[in-house]
Structure 1
């Protein structure tokens, strides 16, 4: 079952990375978008097949259906849109009012969620290891943030640039959840994917299992079937591997912890300063698609200067083993 999920996952992530696929998306966009600040969500159901997009089951403004996957997807897309609009004045994924579409009940026991360049797609999980993938707001926001990165920077999905791609999605996924719950950096759990694992999956130290911890990478899970969370939180433990596109989901723990440290160093709501620094770095014209941790870190420090938090950001990177000189 795991191999089946992984084979499909590779296909969809490859499609997302192909520029031609993005060009087709642009052709299919409607000529007129909704007014800035107005959401336009459509939820489809694949009815446990793998034909996309499926049949429409909920449209913008329609009432809840009672199907948790449909309603969680609808709400998650809306909360993510609201976050980017209210915090960064960004009008949807592409900043041009792109409608947000989601397909639920994808495949049979499909244990994943992904952004394919046109829509969010959610599996129902297998009930053995994974619950439905709409259950976690930060996972929904994580996948939509891949669309933001694709639109702005197109960080190559391999090695360190790919790990940055994954980390940026974790950052905004966590920030959307914190914004929705009105949590400060100090009060947030900094966990990605809480609730996704079933009770059968063992966590670390008696805690429920999660996909990742930004606060303590490597402590998401420790299970006889899944193994132990492999994420490092420091460059001393950087994993060199050809698997996972060069460790994009593994080594993302390092920039993840840097963001957590920066946000807690600064204090208050993480989206107000630390999140803005990371967002503006993502939009920085100096950021290249193949950049590694070091250059991304340097750009965050430079972008932090306008908010007078460069010392806190610099300290965060230093603590994960990335030395960044402060420019006075």
Structure 2
């Protein structure tokens, strides 16, 4: 059945349904207000198309040397302005501000992951400068990519920590820029869930690469460092066990399915982009675990090949993406290879292909 077309939006890390739960059920007026204000800010950004935002900014120049990141970290000074005041740029010493220095560090780590494992030179593969704004708004409970830069809130300090604290969150948002440049996956329904899943995949791989973890050593959690002690949960998403990341009286229960049998039909959350992404996330996890070793050397390469495949269209669905990963596994490793067989089996295990 065809779906109605929704207007594209900027790519936010925090699922809106969590913020809606906090706004509706928290007994703390300040926390309710923080969630409500974040939702209002996010609704404002949903009215802007990313290319318009990108073209409205004067981007500084990137490094002419492939393999060398160029970072510019700004502070919005707790206002809702972009990019804000430049507070640290490439080569400068630590600022002493944790959010500034975390953004600076994790952008470099993410750049190195893409360069050293995938030979990609920044977001556009041409040395694009990495712009990050921290201290966006007051108690802003999200992070997002807006077509030109990454933006990080400080969280509310009760449910959520500052969003720069998590390497995989920074990697997730940078990856949205890569996805936008390569495939332009429309941020609605299955193509939007693929967009979110790919950002989770590359965010997780960035963390695994940084820590030197094999697939069996990784926790496969997304945003674990965001949750404060009062939250009953481990992270915002689990690639290993979608639907189990949190179960909290205020935040609710993780709604992600791990199989197409539980696919959620909804028009909320841009057609369930943060919900149904659990299915391709789990397929990636199953393939990586079955193959063992470093995931970025096997299934990660196939996912990246597929992201860059000219046959991947902006409106592509799960079946299309799964089929392309199988064909790219054949091309890279051979049709009779363990990698190709394992990737097909992973998609079968989550019910995407027969």
TM-score (norm 2): 0.86
Alpha-carbon spacing, 1:39–1:273, altered in 2? closer, same or farther (3 Å): same
Displacement, 1:54? 1.2
Q: Which residue in the other structure is 1:221 paired with?
A: 246
- Structure 2, gaps ≥5 residues long: 1-33
CA distance in 2, matches of 1:269, 1:181: 11
- Structure 1, gaps ≥5 residues long: 204-208
Kindly indicate whether the alpha-carbon contact (under 8 Å) linking 2:62 and 2:69 is maintained by their aligned counterparts in 1: no
CA distance in 1, matches of 2:76, 2:298: 40
Task: Confirm or deny that 1:142 pairs with 2:175.
Answer: no
CA distance in 2, matches of 1:216, 1:47: 38
Q: Which residue in the other structure is 2:122 paired with?
A: 92
Kindly indicate whether the alpha-carbon contact (under 8 Å) linking 2:227 and 2:235 is maintained by their aligned counterparts in 1: yes
Question: The residue matched to 1:134 in structure 2 has which SS?
Answer: helix
Question: The residue matched to 2:86 in structure 1 has which SS?
Answer: strand
Alpha-carbon spacing, 1:10–1:272, altered in 2? closer, same or farther (3 Å): farther
Alignment of 1:6-17 (within 5 A): 6-15=39-48, 17=49
Alignment of 1:1-328 (within 5 A): 1-15=34-48, 17-22=49-54, 24=55, 28-29=58-59, 33-203=63-233, 209-305=234-330, 306-307=332-333, 308=337, 309-323=339-353
| Cα-to-partner distance string for 1:41-74 (whole Å, 9 max, x where unaligned) | 0111111111111111111111112211111000
Kindly indicate whether the alpha-carbon contact (under 8 Å) linking 1:142 and 1:173 is maintained by their aligned counterparts in 2: yes
CA distance in 2, matches of 1:92, 1:250: 28
Displacement, 1:30? 5.5
Alpha-carbon spacing, 1:12–1:185, altered in 2? closer, same or farther (3 Å): same
CA distance in 1, matches of 2:193, 2:39: 18
| Cα-to-partner distance string for 1:101-135 (whole Å, 9 max, x where unaligned) | 11111100101111111111111111111110001
Kindly indicate whether the alpha-carbon contact (under 8 Å) linking 2:62 and 2:70 is maintained by their aligned counterparts in 1: no
CA distance in 1, matches of 2:75, 2:290: 43
| Cα-to-partner distance string for 1:193-240 (whole Å, 9 max, x where unaligned) | 01101111112xxxxx31100000001100000100000000000000
CA distance in 2, matches of 1:151, 1:302: 22
Displacement, 1:170? 0.2
CA distance in 1, matches of 2:251, 2:189: 22
Kindly indicate whether the alpha-carbon contact (under 8 Å) linking 1:171 and 1:256 is maintained by their aligned counterparts in 2: yes
| Cα-to-partner distance string for 1:176-200 (whole Å, 9 max, x where unaligned) | 0000000001110000001101111
Relative contact order: is structure 1 or structure 2 higher (C-alpha 8 Å, sep ≥ 6)? 2
Alpha-carbon spacing, 1:171–1:14, altered in 2? closer, same or farther (3 Å): farther
Root-mean-square deviation (CA, aligned residues, Å) is: 1.5
Kindly indicate whether the alpha-carbon contact (under 8 Å) linking 1:33 and 1:96 is maintained by their aligned counterparts in 2: no
| Cα-to-partner distance string for 1:270-309 (whole Å, 9 max, x where unaligned) | 0001000000100000111101100100000010112231
Question: The residue matched to 1:48 in structure 2 has which SS?
Answer: coil
Kindly indicate whether the alpha-carbon contact (under 8 Å) linking 2:60 and 2:129 is maintained by their aligned counterparts in 1: no
Q: Which residue in the other structure is 1:206 paired with?
A: none
| Cα-to-partner distance string for 1:145-188 (whole Å, 9 max, x where unaligned) | 00001001100000000000000000000000000000001110
Query: How many pairs does the alignment contain?
Result: 316
CA distance in 2, matches of 1:277, 1:32: 28
CA distance in 2, matches of 1:69, 1:31: 23
